Amino acid sequence: MATNRLFNLDGRIVLGAALLLFGTLLLLDNVDIIEVGSVWRLWPLILVAVGVNKILGSENRREFGSGAWWIFLGLWFFVSIQHVFGLGFRDTWPMLIMAWGVSEIWKALAQRSHVSIAKKNGNATD
């Protein structure tokens, strides 16, 4: 119960932590302590942080799905830019079509579940 309450406090904590990290890196670059050039290749992880933020603050399946999309896009960009497992954009673009398909199935199941619950409660409108 306490764990759920911690996550429900505010999803902005994830976004704030990401901004704090990137701000710190830029400051250290400005004072010549580190070289940020290679860190900029990690920008897709910002999209992942946005997705985690959305999921932590989600109140329904639609918001959860939106967060999942952000995470997917961030990871897809990361894999494609960093050539993880030798994969680039040319190799991974079909994953976007697959994810779109998963998204449509998710929406249909969520809608069906919502209608089923409404009928069970006697609130369905035909």
With respect to residue 69, please indicate whether it lies within any of the assigned structural domains. yes
The answer to whether the beta carbons of residues 18 and 46 sit under 8 Å apart is: yes
What dihedral do alpha carbons 27, 31, 35, 36 form, nearest 10°?
A: 20
Q: Is 52 within a domain?
A: yes
In a domain? residue 107: yes
**Number of structural domains in the chain:** 1
Q: Which two tokens stand for residue 111?
A: 């809608």
Length of the chain: 126
- Domain-located, residue 126: no
d(CA 46, CA 16): 11
One digit per residue, the tens of pLDDT, for the chain of length 126 reads 444 555 544 667 777 887 888 888 888 888 988 887 776 788 898 899 889 988 888 888 888 888 999 999 999 999 999 899 999 999 999 999 999 998 888 888 877 766 666 566 666 554
Is the residue at 125 inside a domain?
no
In a domain, 112, yes or no: yes
Q: What residue numbers bound the domain in which 72 lies?
A: 2-120
